[in-house]
Each structure stands twice: as structure tokens, then as C-alpha cells.
Amino acid sequence: MDTGAIVGRLVARDQHNRAATSFWNELASASIPCITTNLVMAEALTLVGRRTSYRFAANQARELYSSNILQIMRPAPVDEIDALSLFEKFSDQRVSFVDCVSFVLMRRHKIQDVFGFDRHFSSAGFTLKP
């Protein structure tokens, strides 16, 4: 689950709100686990706080952290170092370091699908959902 999916789901006026909310509900009703990283959470909650309020973002974060379907990975230092190579490789596309860490973790855990809207994941060989 990428930043755009979290922001889209939580911010009513976000362009991806309808798609993100609908897909999240599908995953939840089917008990399909969703995986993200603590870096994505930090990025998303900051954006949600700026677009709504920090109190709203904190309350939503509490719900996400207690969710039965959301698992939050934390990269090891080696994952972050490996991500630096991708950060350089994709520099012409201005891919964020957070995305590069996600790419490393997704490859290591053989995760192909990403719940998000960021074309950088497609460019890196992953499949965007919804």
C-alpha cells in the first residue's frame, strides 16, 4: 500500500478517494492483507495532516495501526542501503527514496501488486491496483 492509497482513502477531496476507499473495502471484506512500510505511513500521515488536520490524521493513524488487514514493515539498514542504488537509477524519474525502499522490500518479499496510484511502481515493474 503506497502513500497515494492511504491519502486517497483518508482525504475526502482527494482525486483518488472513491477508488481508494472502494478498493480498501474490497480488501477488508475479503480479509486480504495489505502491507506498507513505516516510511510510507510517515509520508502519508504528514500529507493527510496537512490536507485535513493533524488531529484527524492521528486518529486515522490509530485506526490503521490497529487494523486487522494492514501490516507495517520496517526496513533494515541494508534495505535502505540497497534502496540508494535504485534512488540513483531512477533519478531521471524523480522517484522518492520512500518508493525505492518499498521496491526493495517488495522484491525481497516477492510482492508484485501495489495498492496505489504512483506510476513509478509501474515503471519499476510492479502492478498498480485498483
| pLDDT band at residue 26 under the 50/70/90 scheme | very high
pLDDT for 88: 97
Percent of the chain at pLDDT above 70?
100
pLDDT for 95: 97
- Delimit the domains of the chain by residue range: 3-129
SS3 of the chain: CCHHHHHHHHCCCCCCHHHHHHHHHHHHHCCCCEEEEHHHHHHHHHHHHHHCCHHHHHHHHHHHHCCCCEEEECCCHHHHHHHHHHHHHCHHHCCCHHHHHHHHHHHHCCCCEEECCCHHHHHCCCEEEC
For 110, counting Cβ atoms within 10 Å of its Cβ (0-12 exposed, 13-18 middle, 19+ buried), the class is: exposed
* Cβ partners under 8 Å of residue 22, min gap 6: 130
In tens, the pLDDT along 83-97 reads 999 999 999 999 999
In tens, the pLDDT along 38-48 reads 999 999 999 99
pTM of the model: 0.94
| CATH number belonging to domain 3-129 | 3.40.50.1010
